[in-house]
């Protein structure tokens, strides 16, 4: 074979190779639509398209707190895993005072979903739609370490910190005020516990898993005086006019539970599996 003949042969082989690869390459996009159909076929109505914007009171560890300007916690990881199942690549947490989460969601335009350790309650469910429950919770009463108290009897003339607009505040209103306590409202749980450490209030009523996290640090000098079995369940919340999003969140949550990812996230933040 002449020099040119060899070159021509190489070129022919090259072209054939490219053709074969090309055909093989064509079969890859053919497989892609099959993958896409795993994602919900609906076009989700979102405040910012392609992103799930989440409203949250980010002073409620270990469910949500700010690490610099990055939100972290159980709700943050769970919402992220659900969004992935929904086919939404990006999740952005926006901080909002707990008390204003529902009216802001209702007003629209700021966030798509609430993930904020929010208890599913009939009066709230009139305003917004809740997902299926994702966490079981109770209330608790925390005081400075050292005393022994009966709750509610020994709360007479005590100043009790509560978080405005929460189930803890409702429980304290119904059970501690009649026993003679004065309630002091705070905008979030962290502020209430800070006031307790500073001696500005005598006790704090708050969701048990959050209190358990606070008292873990012995340097804070706080103890859980009472566990209060209110039998609450947390749910994510969406606007009543976004049933497609509610379905996507519920479907995503059941997939995350079925895959075992829920348990992995639970262990990461609580050290053990849900009881």
Task: Give the x-and-dash track for 171-210 against ligand GLN (CB under 6 A).
Answer: ------------------x-----------------x---
Phi, psi of 193 (to 5 degrees): -70, -35
> For helices 74-86 and 243-258, what crossing angle results, to 10°?
110
* Residue 233: partners with Cβ closer than 8 Å, 6 or more residues away: 119, 120, 133, 134, 135, 136, 137
Task: Give the x-and-dash track for 229-258 against ligand GLN (CB under 6 A).
Answer: ------------------------------
# residues contacting ligand GLN (CB under 6 A)? 12
Q: Which listed range, 15-23, 111-119, 150-158, 197-205, lies at the site for ligand GLN (CB under 6 A)? A: 111-119
Q: Which listed range, 18-26, 71-79, 117-125, 262-270, lies at the site for ligand GLN (CB under 6 A)? A: 117-125
CB 77 within 8 A of CB 135: no
Q: Which listed range, 6-14, 25-33, 77-85, 162-170, lies at the site for ligand GLN (CB under 6 A)? A: 162-170
Which residue's beta carbon is nearest to the bound ligand GLN? 166
116 touches ligand GLN (CB under 6 A): yes
Q: Residue 139 or 239: which CB sits closer to ligand GLN?
A: 139
User: What is the separation of C-alpha 77 from the centre of its chain, rounded to a whole number of angstroms?
Assistant: 7
60 touches ligand GLN (CB under 6 A): yes
- The Cα-based distances of 111 to 42, 48, 56, 136, 232 in angstroms read 19, 9, 9, 25, 24
User: In whole angstroms, what is the distance from residue 48 CA to residue 55 CA?
Assistant: 13
Q: Which listed range, 17-25, 80-88, 161-169, 262-270, lies at the site for ligand GLN (CB under 6 A)? A: 161-169
Binding ligand GLN (rule: CB under 6 A), the pick from 117, 161, 209, 235 is: 117
User: In whole angstroms, what is the distance from residue 83 CA to residue 77 CA?
Assistant: 10
Q: Which listed range, 126-134, 163-171, 173-181, 213-221, lies at the site for ligand GLN (CB under 6 A)? A: 163-171
Query: Smallest gap, in angstroms, from Cβ of residue 102 to ligand GLN?
Result: 10
82 touches ligand GLN (CB under 6 A): no
58 touches ligand GLN (CB under 6 A): no
Beta strand 70-72 pairing with 64-67: antiparallel
62 touches ligand GLN (CB under 6 A): no
User: In whole angstroms, what is the distance from residue 199 CA to residue 237 CA?
Assistant: 35
Q: Which listed range, 24-32, 110-118, 150-158, 223-231, lies at the site for ligand GLN (CB under 6 A)? A: 110-118
74 touches ligand GLN (CB under 6 A): no
Q: Residue 72 or 207: which CB sits closer to ligand GLN?
A: 207
Retrieve residue 115's tokens. 């993930």
Comparing CA positions, the residue from 113, 87, 65 lying closest to residue 235 is: 113
User: In whole angstroms, what is the distance from residue 160 CA to residue 120 CA?
Assistant: 24
Buried b (16+ CB within 10 A) or exposed e, 142-153: bbeeeeeeebbe
Task: Give the binding site for ligand GLN (CB under 6 A).
Answer: 57, 60, 98, 116-119, 163, 166-167, 189, 207
């Amino acid at each position: 074979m002449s020099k040119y003949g060899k070159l021509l042969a190489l070129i022919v082989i090259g072209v054939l190779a490219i053709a074969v690869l090309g055909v093989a390459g064509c079969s890859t996009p053919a497989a892609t639509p099959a993958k896409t159909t795993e994602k919900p076929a609906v076009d989700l109505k979102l405040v910012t398209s392609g992103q799930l914007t989440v409203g949250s009171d980010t002073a409620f560890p270990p469910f949500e707190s700010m690490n610099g300007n990055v939100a972290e916690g159980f709700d943050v990881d769970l919402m992220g895993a659900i969004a992935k199942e929904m086919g939404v690549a990006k999740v952005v947490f926006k901080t909002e005072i707990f008390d204003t989460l529902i009216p802001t969601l209702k007003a629209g335009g700021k966030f798509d979903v609430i993930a904020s350790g929010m208890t599913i309650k009939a009066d709230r469910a009139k305003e917004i739609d809740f997902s299926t429950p994702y966490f079981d919770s109770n209330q608790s009463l925390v005081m400075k370490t050292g005393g022994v108290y009966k709750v509610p009897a020994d709360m007479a003339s005590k100043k009790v910190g509560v978080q405005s607009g929460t189930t803890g505040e409702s429980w304290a209103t119904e059970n501690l005020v009649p026993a003679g306590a004065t309630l002091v409202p705070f905008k979030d749980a962290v502020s209430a516990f800070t006031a307790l450490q500073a001696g500005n209030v005598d006790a704090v009523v708050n969701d048990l898993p959050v209190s358990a996290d606070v008292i873990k640090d012995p340097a804070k000098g706080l103890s859980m005086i009472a566990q209060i079995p209110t039998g609450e369940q947390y749910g994510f919340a969406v606007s009543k006019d976004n049933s497609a999003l509610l379905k996507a969140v519920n479907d995503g949550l059941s997939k995350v539970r079925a895959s075992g990812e829920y348990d992995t996230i639970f262990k990461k933040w609580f050290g053990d599996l849900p009881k």
